[in-house]
Structure 1
Amino acid sequence: MDEVSEILTAFGAVLAVSLAEESDLLISLLFNGLDFLGLLLGVLAHRRQHVRIAGFAEDVVPRYHPEDFRQHFRVSRRTASILVTALGHCRGIPRASDPQRRGILPVDVEKQLLVTLWFLATQEPFRSIGDRFGICNATAYRIVKRVISAVNRNWTPKIIRWPKDSASARYVIDGFHGRRGLQGVLGAIDGSHIAIKAPRSNQDAYINRKCFHSIVLQAVCDHRMFFRDCFAGYPGSTHDARVLKYSDLYDRITESVDTLFLFGSYLLGDSAYPLSSWLMTPYKDNGHLSEKQRNYNFLHSSTRMAIERAFALLKGRFRRLKYVDIDRLEDVPDIILAACTLHNICIMSENDIEHFVDSDDDNQEADGIDGLDEDGVEENNSIGNADGSRINIGKRKRDLIAEQLWEHCRVLT
């Protein structure tokens, strides 16, 4: 105990001085004060005896009905079992069975996973989580940080993957085509604001257009709401187009667009993004759109809705992302990416994936964004200053897609 050590040190120092000076008065006062010291130590020891819930993870959770387990931890018991096995093989996760382990036995791997899932599934602070699982709040924080680091280091690169080969690309393209008839769609892209606690510094940069502090999550998903690319960390005031510009995805596209977009495929984005050959945006509705253009906009919007639903499912399953109330701002992107990774794992291993879709999640952005021209190009921005050939190629490709969709619609009618 730090406080007890300080008290004993102070008493020892005064006692030594008193004895050296042979001060009967001081010696008398000190020895009479020892009774008070004993009482004080008793109070401190009593105060340190925190009472926590015992046996929640060990006794209560195993008796949960499968549906109750899923409601509490936001994953099925089968998925949790898979995660425990995989987590046990990750470097950096302490295990009691480790032959080189010395000292106090670490928290069981399954319990570490349950603590992390509870953190992601709820808005409870670490103090409450520690109390529930019978550990101190500092241990709860270290467990969550350790597990999230292991998820991002070992699983994220393998789980959140771009469809690079022809078979996986064709699978996604056919999946989108089966929804609304758009041919060549490889993914839907959008940004979502993850609400955060006001940072200690540079607070204004994190206030978004909806007037709350946030970090932007940019993601691309396929027709199953499965994330194919995730990028998080930019302050909430950053425009979607600028986040794209500085993302790893944009760097890869710049280096090799034909390798990423096989079969002439492309992404669907809203009007916040710049139009290009690999990113189709809607026509700006100025009140004079043709029927062909309105038909394209309708099919574009209804197909792009996959990313909106993906964000709603992500935040509905892992409610921590509705408001990340932690002091260390640098931890937030890691938490977001780990949640996205677990989101994909759930889609891979569970059937009723839309069970947690949050219908109240407000991720819709207005079609008309101040500071953008009709093709979603940000004014006075490095993206907006891109060469006109890119925009012209994008316009021609969009017109061709709109024409094909319109002809198909006329044939059906």
Structure 2
Amino acid sequence: MVERLTPNLKKKDTKMRFPQEVGLKLAVTLCHLASGNDYTSLQYSFRVSKSCICRLIPLVCQAIIDTYKPEVMKCPKTPEEWNDIAKRFASKWNYFSCVGALDGKHVAIKKSKGGGSLYFNYKKFHSIVLMALPDTKYRFLFVDVGAEGGVGDGGTWQKCNLAKAITNNQAGLPQDRNLPNDDEPIPFHIVANNAFATDYLALVVWRKTHSACCR
């Protein structure tokens, strides 16, 4: 990781100071992300000032996203790519025409100044929503993070880019296909809990799929 991130994080030496090593920046950031330790405890563990840690952690996080996102979190855009995912769901779970499993995670935050109840969720704490669509190997295909916790999973999904692309037929999903031993076409779809069934169309798609699978 140090080698991959060096082009984005390496700073030049100056007459006034020597920059922190990329390995140190990465170690501080990974420790913070893994343990949740605050900046005060990190400054004693790594002998780096709190003010420096405040600046470097967002930079390292952004560098990780820029470096690794294209290869580890690539959302399908063509019918062939979506169909490959559906084949893996059929092979592993015996569930057909499925292109992902969707759910939201509430990430706890401190109450924002002036935020009111926007971030106060039904679990009675302030949060932002991490909306994720993984495949059969639990790898993220799509992530939307930062929505207000008070909106909930269904509201967050309706506003994210992938939902809009599917609604506007711009996501590249394959044409409807018959299930094995059936003559009724079933749309390619995403599985989720009832928090996402926010309209009649979503319920119809789920019921058609569920009844066809039961047969």
What TM-score does the superposition give when structure 2 sets the normalisation length?
0.84
State the SS of the aligned residue for 2:112.
Answer: coil
For residues 156 and 251 of structure 1, the distance between their equivalents in structure 2, rounded to whole angstroms, comes to 21
* Counterparts of 2:193 and 2:150, CA distance in 1: 18
Over the aligned positions, Cα root-mean-square deviation in angstroms equals 2.1
- Give the Cα–Cα distance (whole angstroms) in 2 for the partners of residues 164 and 400 of structure 1: 25
Pick aligned residue for 2:165 from 245, 248, 252: 252
What pairs up with 1:170-249 in 2 under 5 angstroms? 170-249=83-162
Equivalent in the alignment of 1:261: 173
SS at match of 2:150: coil
Amino acid at match of 1:102: T
Partners in 2 of 1:149 and 1:127 — Cα distance? 22
SS of 1:217 mapped into structure 2: strand
Select the structure that is richer in strand: 2
Deviations 1:58-90 (A, max 9, x none): xxxxxxxxxxxxxxxxxxxxxxxxx11110122
What number of residue pairs does the alignment pair up? 203
Identical-residue share of aligned pairs (%): 23
CA contact (8 A) 1:184 1:263 kept: no
Q: Is 2:3 aligned against 1:85? A: yes
CA drift at 1:405: 2.1
Structure 1 residues 87-142: Cα deviation after superposition (integer angstroms, max 9, x where no partner): 0122xx134xx4xx423121111111111100101121101111111111111121
* Structure 2 unaligned regions, length at least 5: 177-187
Partner of 1:295: none
| Structure 2 counterpart of 1:404, one-letter code | A
**What secondary structure sits across from 1:191 in the alignment?**
strand
Indicate how the Cα distance of structure 1 residues 394 and 237 shifts in structure 2: closer, same or farther if over 3 A, else same: closer
Are the equivalent residues in 2 in contact too, given 1:207–1:237 (CA < 8 A)?
yes
Give the Å deviation of 1:248: 1.6
Structure 1 unaligned blocks of 5 or more: 1-82, 275-375, 378-387, 408-413
Q: TM-score, normalised by structure 1?
A: 0.46
Partner in structure 2 of residue 94 of structure 1: 10
> Greater shift after overlay, 226-235 or 248-257?
248-257
Aligned to 1:118: 31
> CA-to-partner distance for each residue in 1:296-338, whole Å, 9 max, x for gaps?
xxxxxxxxxxxxxxxxxxxxxxxxxxxxxxxxxxxxxxxxxxx
Q: Distance in 2 between matches of 1:262 and 1:84?
A: 40
Shift of 1:208: 0.6
| 1:196-246 deviation line (CA, Å, top 9, x unaligned) | 112122232211101011111111111111111111112111122211121
Against the structure 1 CA distance between its residues 398 and 191, is the aligned structure 2 distance closer, same or farther, given a 3 Å change threshold? closer
Shift of 1:263: 4.6
For 1:239 and 1:155, the matched residues in 2 are separated by 29
**Superposition pairs of residues 219-368 of structure 1, within 5 angstroms:** 219-257=132-170, 259-264=171-176, 265-274=188-197
**Which of 1 and 2 has greater Rg?**
1
| Residue identity matched to 2:10 | P
Matched, 1:163 2:76: yes
Whose helix proportion is higher, 1 or 2?
A: 1
Say if 2:129 and 2:152, in contact at 8 Å, map to a contact too. Answer: no
CA distance in structure 1 between the aligned counterparts of 2:86 and 2:128, rounded to whole angstroms: 30
Which residue pairs with 1:405 in the alignment? Answer: 213
Could you say if the C-alpha distance between residues 398 and 271 of structure 1 is closer, same or farther in structure 2, counting changes exceeding 3 Å? closer
Partner of 2:40 in structure 1?
127
